[in-house]
Amino acid sequence: MTAAQRFARAWAQAVHEASYVLMTRSEREAYFLDLTERLAAALTADPFDAYGGYQVGAHLAETDAIAPEALGRTVTLLSTRMLTDLELHGLVGRDRLTTLVEALCMGYTAALQDRTLDKQDSLRRADITARTEAEQALRRSEERLRHAALHDALTNLPNRALVTHWLASLRTAPDAPERFGVCVIGIDRFTAVNNSLGYPVGDRLLVAVAERLSLFCDEVGHLGGDQFALLIRDTGGPEDAVKPADRALAALRAPFHIDGHELPMTASAGVVERAVDAGDPVDALRAAAMSLHWAKAEGRDRFELFDEVRSAREVARYKLSAEMPGALARGEFGLAYQPLVSLSDGTVAGIEGLARWHHPELGELPPARFIHLAEDSGFIVPLGIHLLERACQQAMRWRATRPEPPVVSVNLAARQLCHPSLAADVATVLDRTGLPAELLQLEITESDVMTAEADAVGTLHALAGLGVRVALDDFGTGYCSLAYLRRLPVHGIKLAGAFIAGLGRPGLAGRTDEAVLTTLVHLGHTLDLTVTAEGIESVAQLEALRAIGCDLGQGWLLGRPTTADRIFP
């Protein structure tokens, strides 16, 4: 069953439960599948035209689903699930969906009104009193439908569609202000209430929140879920929007008493304040929602004021993250290689593969620009396997031409280490490329090992069982205890570059770094580990590390990251 079919089935069932439709189940599902596909086509059309939503609303009215709840359920389903269920996030903006839903409501109401006029023609021949009563009943029905389309069924507050209409009308209203503010409020950890006490308690909590917010703000909307919006008119600057947000958060800190439960709650808020003519006012809702996300990320129970510069960075990050799957398919990700040099004789004992993204517009991007984005999205798992295979393929080429082939070293992110199939994936890559396991080294930072889940240690043992070398990167910064280190199947440690950078500095600081490095090297050798120093940039650092007894070195003095064909002279 396709995503569209599943969504259509849910839509058909929701309408059928609210207002009986004279169709069989299969007829209903086929009918709503057609409406779903038409809405999806209208959403993704370029240029966008909301008239498709108007037509769908008119057709929906033809099913005789005239109960207010039928339209209300339709609006709720489209607003909360359509982008997710049809996998349109990232392709379609929520403002476009809101406009389309509004058009659907207008088409529905207009079609219903046309039917009403047809009925009126037949009623003219009847008694005028009965006709008047029927007209009044129909008007009340239309009002109920309009109210249901523009208000949240649970809290009876204006819904996202009406909040959007408020903002859109700021420019054209006779009493339009020069400046305005929007505050989007989200209840912190609201999911925990639903999960622990049940959805009925969660629903009553949302009603209580709505009532509390309505006490000190005239224009309050419920955007869905645990999010509410405050519209502040006639502001004179950011402070006039921040103060209501601060008061709202303070009001929500007082415990709620629901069904015998005392619920201490907090909330976070995103705030936007701007001139009405400074861009589309509807965009302020998106900006406030983004600011709410920042407030949640910064620890909750606080507000964040929208920042254009930060927003631009977030948009750029999202754009870069969204480009990754396509970039992988196009072969834009590759590796640069940096030698690991034996400090005793100067030979190349190993080579580290360093991720690079050859972006068609931004040029060559280092891992600091995209690895953390890949980790956040989960894309690090397929990307990591791709880079691992590239490194192993190159290692096989060196093995065919070098009498003593070097070990190739590849970095692992924490999310890769916690992935249950990592060991199996590595085994598959080794089998596919033919590289002996002892010529592959996987690096994981000490801090990632310390914070990883318990299963990650088992994964390290599984990798070591394959014959793969494991090294702890940035050693000395993650507070790894000796007892814990002894239990890890580690073959080597790479000393954090911050220690090497301090070598040769005059005074106590330089002597301290040298003493720390000496201790770490001796510790590694006591545990029978290979010790590597990275970030070597001067002859003085090289000589000091050689005197300490460090095994391997890496850094610009010994060789900068380069292409595979330039590693060996």
More confident call, 320 vs 139: 320
CA distances from 225 to 191, 206, 248, 503 (A): 10, 9, 18, 56
Question: What average pLDDT does the segment 133-155 reach?
Answer: 83
Question: What average pLDDT does the segment 430-459 reach?
Answer: 87
Question: What average pLDDT does the segment 264-279 reach?
Answer: 92
Give the class (CATH, top level) of 161-306.
Answer: alpha beta
Predicted confidence (pLDDT) per residue in 211-250, tens digit: 999 987 889 999 999 999 999 989 999 999 999 999 999 9
Separation of alpha carbons 209 and 216, rounded Å: 12
Nearest Cα to Cα of residue 452 among 527, 525, 520, 375: 375
Predicted confidence (pLDDT) per residue in 394-423, tens digit: 999 999 998 889 999 999 998 898 888 999
Residue 419's contacts (CB-CB under 8 Å, 6 or more residues apart) are: 381, 425
Separation of alpha carbons 144 and 130, rounded Å: 21
| Residue 316 structure tokens | 């750029």
Residue 381 pLDDT > 90, yes or no?
yes
Question: What average pLDDT does the segment 31-56 reach?
Answer: 90
Mean pLDDT, all residues of the chain: 89
Predicted confidence (pLDDT) per residue in 515-565, tens digit: 889 999 999 999 999 999 999 999 989 999 999 999 999 999 999 999 999
Q: How confident is the model at residue 96 (pLDDT cuts 50, 70, 90)?
A: confident
Predicted confidence (pLDDT) per residue in 339-360, tens digit: 999 999 999 999 999 999 999 9
Residue 481 pLDDT > 70, yes or no?
no
Q: How confident is the model at residue 475 (pLDDT cuts 50, 70, 90)?
A: confident
Question: What average pLDDT does the segment 195-205 reach?
Answer: 94
Question: What average pLDDT does the segment 103-117 reach?
Answer: 82
Q: How confident is the model at residue 198 (pLDDT cuts 50, 70, 90)?
A: very high
Q: How confident is the model at residue 273 (pLDDT cuts 50, 70, 90)?
A: very high
Identify the pLDDT of residue 430.
97
Identify the pLDDT of residue 118.
63
Look up residue 324 and give its amino acid.
M
Identify the pLDDT of residue 73.
86
Residue 64 pLDDT > 60, yes or no?
yes
Q: How confident is the model at residue 127 (pLDDT cuts 50, 70, 90)?
A: low
Identify the pLDDT of residue 124.
60
Residue 155 pLDDT > 80, yes or no?
yes
In order, the DSSP letters of 450-462 are: HHS-HHHHHHHHH
Q: Which of 6-15, 186-195, 428-437, 501-510 has the lowest mean pLDDT?
A: 501-510
Q: How confident is the model at residue 435 (pLDDT cuts 50, 70, 90)?
A: very high
In order, the DSSP letters of 180-213 are: EEEEEEEETTHHHHHHHH-HHHHHHHHHHHHHHH
- Burial of 235 (C-beta count, 10 Å sphere; 0-12/13-18/19+): buried
Question: What average pLDDT does the segment 499-518 reach?
Answer: 78
Look up residue 460 and give its amino acid.
L
More confident call, 201 vs 71: 201
Identify the pLDDT of residue 130.
65
Separation of alpha carbons 216 and 251, rounded Å: 10
Predicted confidence (pLDDT) per residue in 287-324, tens digit: 999 999 999 999 999 999 999 899 888 888 889 999 99
Predicted confidence (pLDDT) per residue in 21-41, tens digit: 678 888 888 989 999 999 999
Question: What average pLDDT does the segment 259-286 reach?
Answer: 91
**Percent of the chain whose predicted confidence (pLDDT) is above 70:** 92
Kindly report the CATH number that applies to the domain delimited by 318-566: 3.20.20.450
First vs last C-alpha separation in the chain: 58
Separation of alpha carbons 82 and 250, rounded Å: 34
Identify the pLDDT of residue 125.
60
Identify the pLDDT of residue 425.
96
Identify the pLDDT of residue 366.
95
The number of residues making up the chain comes to 569
Residue 125's contacts (CB-CB under 8 Å, 6 or more residues apart) are: none
